[in-house]
Structure 1
Amino acid sequence: MEGLEVAVVLGLTVLAGGLANRYLRVPAPWAWLAVGIIVSFVPGVPEVALPPDIVLYIFLPALLYWESLNISVHGFRFDLRVISLLSIGLVFVTAAAVAGIGTLMGLAFPVALVLGAVLSPTDATAVSAMAPRLPRRIDTMLRGESLVNDASALALYSVAVAAVVAGRDPSIGEISLSFVWAVVIGVALGLAAGYALYLLRRIARTPSLAATVSVITPFVLYLPAEMAHGSGVVAVVAGGLLLSLLLPRVVSANARTLSFDFWRVASYVINGALFVLIGLQAHSVVETYATDGWLSVLLLTLAVTVAIFAVRFLWVVAMAPAIRLLDRRPSQRDRRVPFRIRAILIGGGFRGAVSLAAALSVPALIADGMGFPDRQLLVAVTFGVIVLLLVGQGAAMPLILKRAHLPHDDGSSEEYRLAVTTMAHEALDHLDADAAAAGASPEAQRIVRERIDETLAKAGDLTDREADAAVRALLLTAISRKRHAIEQLRASGRIDDLVFLRVQGDLDHEELRLHTERE
């Protein structure tokens, strides 16, 4: 199928799933998955497929970059040990469990390990879609797990596939060395590339140039690490987190709004396309195993699904007492994860497009020219596990959230009020000096003072008097003061990164309104 036709079909199916989500109240991943399955069986519709490399090397870096800009860096650091246990330890334990099940059911161990690596990473997009209003700490844990575990899984995947191709068994030492190298190189090159992009953003100040740099950023972060045989995934995450801290200092409101709007739409379309692509595999799987072998595929799929859930359940339940046993410092008590949060972590282990892309990326041939053993089986089982976990855990998530009795306010509202109050006082404290430096009239100064005193969230349209150039210039200076104040609050840890983004958005809209009037 030609590229344009693929784009049109994917676009229409993503739109159809989005409409089902909007008007039928069906969770977006379910809607996209269902539309993909239906389209795959429509007579006369040609096969729609994207090369797996597009998913792994274009879609994945883009999604990881957007997620890294929207995760709480403070929360990520605060719960780093839990995120590490989920994204590294749980990945390897899950892969080992799946490999064990696969071996018991007739797969060669290296092939079973490939299946384990493919199915070990989670999908934060599915979690966010199934439970869009999770408390901040739980959301950060699940997003952080998904950001990092792709790197762990893909490092294991590359070793396992190489072992199958070479006709040998992978060793623990080889896996460990590959993982450490991938992470170290990924972090180092990701931070270096991230800082270089920050310097570039300091000179690319116009909205068009800044947006262009933003669009290429995830790929600039990803490529050097991959060329050095490190983890491009880790590089994107490390560089993205660094840029989320540095860019507010140099990016204008117009450029930031333009870039964020682009990534918001791109993320939505990419996520929709990925879930649709999962659904589109249904016809191929059914056609391959409709007459022969379907029972073994079904049994293996069910066994692997149960194993994945059981391992996650046991790991998360045992995680808290293990941490308490190993770390008895009083300062660590605040970091403990109560059981109601752990229950949601257990239910948040969805699988998604990265798993399918990895399965489809398995090479067709091995070193001796023979076909890769059980390649079609890997794809079929991966498809089945993704669907079962998405439907099963997705249906259970509302009940889990209801039983967890989570608080409605996780502190964001109070931090938001703190940010608004602090930045208003910062602007007022410097208003007299700023007015004198700008040569503003007392009337202009009075209007600006009244404007600052208003609640930012309820600020109305500018009046005719505010349209005066002197007033507008002074308002822009006040906004600059407010930005400095909230940057200080975030740097000191008094407000969370997500609250910072919320207040920053308010200031961006206010600044854009002033610039629009001037133009």
Structure 2
Amino acid sequence: MLLGAWLGPRIKVPAPLVQLALGLCVGFIPPVREIHLPSEAVLVLFLPALLFWESLTTSLREIRRDLRGILILSTLLVVASAFGVAGIGVALGLGWGAALILGAALAPTDATAVGAMARSLPHRNMTILRAESLVNDGTALVVYSIAVGAAVGHIAYTGWQITGLVALAYVGGGVIGVAAGWLGTLILRRLADPIVNNTALLVIPFVAFLAAELIHASGVIAVVIAGLILSQTGPRASTPQSRQQTFAFWSLVSSILNGALFVLIGIEAQSAVRAVPNPEIPALIALTVLAWVAIIVIRFVFQMVTVTLIRLLDRRPSQRARRMSHRARVVSAMAGFRGAISLAVALAVPATLSGRAEIIFVAAGVVILTLAVQGVLLPPVVRWAGFAPDTTLDDELAAAQHAAADEALLAIPQLAAQLNVPDEVRDHLLEEYREHLDVMNASAHGEDQALAAREQDDTALRLALLERKRDAMIRLRDDGQIDDTTLRIMQTRLDREALRLSQPELLE
């Protein structure tokens, strides 16, 4: 994991691909072959944590704008992909039950893989893809449950039973997600201590997931809904210290979990190859390639058909404003990565099912192909698509900073009077805010480069002074004049000031 994360940027290859390759390599070491990726670990440990962080950092406004398309992609496309892959499996010799289970495993895009591999996409395209990946796992797991029940339990589902299972998965998961988000907000508002606050935040996705699974609803939907609710209530439900700790903790945890999944996929692929008889491998490789091609083609054709129908039926100006080019459909088809969820579903197949080893082999192979081939092809495809520069996020960030500074400038006289602040302090702060607004205005309009350059020089000097202060604190500690506790407190204060000064660079 560490080597892949370090090496990837240096050889200009996405870190997940390097971690996957390293997992394949270490799979040749005999003791490592005993390491396996339990499906329960993915579904109960990795999945809630990763989906929760993805939902906390996904724009709810963007989801509302493209909700119809996201729902269609996360439900109907999953079903179409599952049955399309199942048809290919049956044609190449798999039983119908095993083929449908394979289709259910390969149908959903993976939020982890999408977040790691599709960062070159424009903001709106990335948001749609992430939102789809957050929801479609729930649909795929319902299809998987039905397929396993029919193949292993020999259950003859009626149309009403299937409808009931789908309704329970989505409605039940949604209700529990709303309850978890609401209760979580109430709890977080009452926890001022950053450690306790973030411990509660860590518990929420697992409680939501397990509660939903207990009633056979979709734990995925519950976690996503809870995360989206907390993304809206969180800014008012926690303290600045808690939010800083939340971002640092979840960024680290999600990075570790993502890296672990990609390495384990590589190791598990080794086990998948060894689990099938050698004479079957050529046919399974053919099935793997055909299934991989099928999910790309089905995704592209499905989007073209649904978009055409929507444009015929909905001619509102708002709908016209949301339209994308056909090249965007090609990009979306190429960005439909499969990942650990597909492999976890395959590994969860009961051992009594005939064809289990073949399902795992094909699922692992398709995951590797989507990550390795599509991951390499996606950047040139994005360049070919010719997307217009997406400055939405930068524009909104600049507007938000300007609005915050304007609000502060207007509030300074009133707040200074309420707090009995001396006039010279008030005037000094007013002057600082006016200069700050002048710099922002100059940067926004490309004017007064000297003013902007002076601000940059001021920031550079302040950061350099902070380094000198830090060196002085370390020297005092080394000389025995202060102890380590004092050093840590001072270093924390200096680090906060450095982060404040360098925040624009960090955001970029």
In the superposition, the TM-score normalised over structure 2's length comes to: 0.84
Counterpart Cα distance in 1 of 2:30 and 2:172: 48
Residue in structure 2 matching 1:421, options 397, 402, 405: 402
Whether 1:281 and 2:262 are equivalent positions in the alignment is no
Match of 1:396 in 2: 377
Distance 1:216 1:122 in 2: 26
Change (3 A) 1:508 1:439: farther
Contact 2:276–2:358 under 8 Å retained in 1:
no
Which residue, out of 166, 185, 205, partners 2:153? 166
Partners of 2:222 and 2:75 lie apart in 1 by: 16
1:121 equivalent in alignment to 2:102: no
Q: CA RMSD in A?
A: 2.4
Does 1:90 pair with 2:77?
Answer: yes
How far apart are 1:324 and its partner, in Å? Answer: 0.7
1:494 alignment counterpart = none
Contact 1:253 1:511 in 2 (8 A): no
Structure 1 unaligned residues grouped into runs of 5+: 1-13, 365-370, 465-505, 514-519
Note the 1:141-180 alignment, pairs <5 A.
Answer: 141-180=128-167
**Which residue number corresponds to residue 451 of structure 1?**
432
Q: Retained in 2: the 8 A contact 1:254–1:512?
A: no
User: Once structures 1 and 2 are overlaid, which stretch shifts more, 40-49 or 133-142?
Assistant: 40-49
Of 355, 368, 392, the match for 1:374? 355
Query: How many angstroms does 1:303 deviate by?
Result: 2.0
Describe the superposition over 1:89-114 as per-residue Cα deviations: whole angstroms up to 9, x where unpaired: 11000001111111222222122111
**Correspondence list, 1:98-497, <5 A:** 98-289=85-276, 291-364=278-351, 371-453=352-434, 454=436, 460=459
- Of the structure 1 ranges 165-174 and 436-445, higher mean CA displacement relative to structure 2 is found in 165-174
Q: Which residue of 1 aligns with 2:49?
A: 62
Amino acid paired to 1:277 = L
Distance 1:170 1:100, change over 3 A: farther
- Deviations along 1:259-297, one digit per CA (max 9) or x if unpaired, are 111110110110111111110023222223363311221
Task: Indicate if the aligned counterparts of 2:54 and 2:111 stay in contact, CA closer than 8 A.
Answer: no
Q: How far is 1:409 from its partner?
A: 3.1
Number of residue-to-residue matches in the alignment:
452
> Cα offset for 1:395?
2.0
Distance in 2, Cα, partners of 1:222 & 1:44: 34
The 3-state SS of whatever aligns with 2:13 is coil
Change (3 A) 1:57 1:508: farther
Shift of 1:67: 0.3
- Residue 172 of structure 1: CA displacement? 4.5
Which residue identity is paired with 1:23? Answer: R
Contact 1:110-1:169 within 8 A present in 2 as well: no
Structure 1: how far apart are the matches of 2:2 and 2:62?
34
- How far residue 46 of structure 1 moved from its aligned partner, in angstroms, is 4.8
CA offsets, 1:217-276, max 9 Å, x none?
A: 211221221112111100111110010001101211111010111110110110111111
The code of the aligned residue for 1:201 comes to: L
| CA distance, structure 2, for counterparts of residue 100 and residue 217 of structure 1 | 40
In 2, the alpha carbon distance for the partners of 1:428 and 1:507 equals 21
The answer (yes or no) to whether the contact 1:185–1:225 under 8 Å persists in 2 is: yes
TM-score, normalised to structure 1, is 0.83
Contact kept, 8 Å, 2:331 with 2:382, in 1: the verdict is: yes
CA contact (8 A) 2:86 2:99 kept: yes
Instruction: Please say which of residues 447-456 and 314-323 is displaced more in the overlay.
Output: 447-456
Match of 2:279, SS state, is: coil
State the alpha-carbon separation in 1 of the partners of residues 23 and 83 from structure 2: 31
CA deviation after TM superposition for structure 1 residue 423, in Å: 1.0
Distance 2:167 2:388 in 1: 39
- Name which of structure 1's ranges 346-355 and 438-447 shifts more when overlaid on structure 2: 438-447
CA distance in structure 2 between the aligned counterparts of 1:448 and 1:265, rounded to whole angstroms: 37
Question: Matches of 1:280 and 1:423 in 2, distance apart?
Answer: 50
Listed as ranges, the gaps of 5+ residues in structure 2 are 441-454, 466-495, 504-508
Aligned partner letter, 2:143: L
Q: CA deviation at 1:129?
A: 2.9
Cα contact 1:117–1:153 (8 A) shared by 2: yes
Amino acid at match of 1:97: G
1:420-449: CA deviation from partner (whole Å, max 9, x where unpaired): 111111111111110111111112212322
Partners of 1:320 and 1:337 within 8 A in 2: no
1:170 to partner: Cα distance? 4.5
The offset of 1:139, in angstroms, is 0.6
What residue is the counterpart of 1:482 in the other structure?
none
Secondary structure of 2:278's partner?
coil
Deviations 1:37-85 (A, max 9, x none): 0000124445211321111011001000100111111111101111112
Tell me if the contact between 2:123 and 2:390 (Cα under 8 Å) persists in the aligned partners.
no
Go from structure 1 to structure 2 and tell me whether the alpha carbon gap of 1:435 and 1:338 turns closer, same or farther (over 3 Å shift): same
